[in-house]
Amino acid sequence: MSSSHNPYMPSLVKIIDIIEETGDTKTIKLIFVDEQTQKNFSFKPGQFNMLTVLGVGEAPLSISSAPGEGDYFSHTIRRVGNVTGAITRLNVGDTFGARGPYGNGWPLDKIKGRDILIVAGGIGLAPLRSVIYYIKENRDNYGKVEILYGARTPKDCLYRREFDEWREIPNTRLLLTVDNVPEGTKWEHDVGVVTLLFDKISLNPSETAVLMCGPEIMMKFAVHNLLEMGFKDKDIYLSMERRMNCGISKCGLCQIGPKFVCQDGPVFSYYELRNLTEKIF
């Protein structure tokens, strides 16, 4: 996206489709209103945009589509407050602002040739959906893939309509769990926190890179379990969430010790995180 002179100036985007994921979460497909800006827009899985609603504010949102998925990009947005509330109230054809892409994204070049363990909780699957389709498109570049996803209830699972397609990606397993199953709901998968699925991991820790995103408490327990299982801190990559303002390492709001989550992250290896001055977990 060209942010020519003023890096804070958003470009206008238009909603071309809306998919209701769950009671509080929608995936919106977007294009830049300016054709050239849309053509020039490229991003990596794990990067995010700052989405702006005039008079309301800005919020960082991961790009949930994969590069090359189509002539659009998408965000999966959980309604929690002002900006996410305003965006999820919009309709197809409505416009608002976006600037980006920002952040480093997942280290998909660095982990070429390795097996991949994806661990996601709740809305944390959004930046990993982008990875799943990226791997599908570049399947020969990676080894076995196991996707572990935990949500609150079956109805809170994002991208349910896509699960069969994910299972059909060669050498790929998808394991699901939910915290609880309301009476009368059909659910043929596990019940419990996502770490319960770790018993079913068939990947060799020394050959595997882990990509993880979810609530910080989930990531804390997941990281500790994985370390005990023999995964190395340098191979565990986490996408960190912090409140953000500028998105371009100017305001300091997102800092963890000396690192700017908006620019040095949001993806860090656990090795990096554990060596920061502030103890993360």
Ligand X SMILES: Cc1cc2nc3c(=O)[nH]c(=O)nc-3n(C[C@H](O)[C@H](O)[C@H](O)COP(=O)(O)OP(=O)(O)OC[C@H]3O[C@@H](n4cnc5c(N)ncnc54)[C@H](O)[C@@H]3O)c2cc1C
Pick the binder of ligand X from 11, 22, 52, 76 (CB under 6 A): 76
Instruction: From 268, 118, 129, select the one nearest 197 (Cα to Cα).
Output: 118
- Count CB atoms within 10 A of the CB of residue 263: 16
Smallest separation, CB 49 to ligand FES (Å): 13
Choose the binding region for ligand FES from 115-123, 209-217, 239-247, 269-277 (rule: CB under 6 A): 239-247
CB 115 within 8 A of CB 204: yes
Q: Show contacts with ligand X in window 194-213 (CB under 6 A).
A: none
SS3 state at 16: strand
Please, which residue, 88 or 95, has the CB nearer to ligand X?
A: 88
Compute the distance between CA of residue 126 and CA of residue 250 in angstroms, rounded to an integer: 26
Phi, psi (5° rounding) for residue 211? -115, 120
Q: Does 3 bind ligand FES (CB under 6 A)?
A: no
The binder of 251, among ligand X, ligand FES, none, by C-beta within 5 to 8 A per type, is: ligand FES
Choose the binding region for ligand FES from 88-96, 144-152, 183-191, 253-261 (rule: CB under 6 A): 253-261
Q: Does 245 bind ligand X (CB under 6 A)?
A: no
Pick the binder of ligand FES from 190, 245, 276, 280 (CB under 6 A): 245
- Count CB atoms within 10 A of the CB of residue 78: 18
Q: Does 244 bind ligand FES (CB under 6 A)?
A: yes
Pick the binder of ligand X from 65, 84, 177, 269 (CB under 6 A): 84
Pick the binder of ligand FES from 225, 249, 276, 280 (CB under 6 A): 249
Compute the distance between CA of residue 236 and CA of residue 31 in angstroms, rounded to an integer: 33
- Count CB atoms within 10 A of the CB of residue 238: 27
Q: Mask 50-69, x = binds ligand X (CB under 6 A)?
A: -------x-xxxx-------
Compute the distance between CA of residue 40 and CA of residue 242 in angstroms, rounded to an integer: 28
Paired tokens of 188: 């043929």
Size of the site for ligand X (CB under 6 A): 22
Smallest separation, CB 263 to ligand X (Å): 11
Residue nearest to ligand X (CB): 81
Name 38's Cβ contacts closer than 8 Å, sequence gap at least 6: 31, 32, 71
CB 20 within 8 A of CB 26: yes
Q: Does 126 bind ligand X (CB under 6 A)?
A: yes
Please, which residue, 217 or 229, has the CB nearer to ligand X?
A: 217
Q: Where are the beta strands (DSSP E) in 64-144?
A: 73-78, 95-102, 115-121
Instruction: From 44, 70, 52, select the one nearest 13 (Cα to Cα).
Output: 52
Q: Does 145 bind ligand FES (CB under 6 A)?
A: no
List of residues contacting ligand X (CB under 6 A): 48, 57, 59-62, 76-78, 80-85, 123, 126, 241-244, 266
List of residues contacting ligand FES (CB under 6 A): 244-247, 249-254, 260, 262
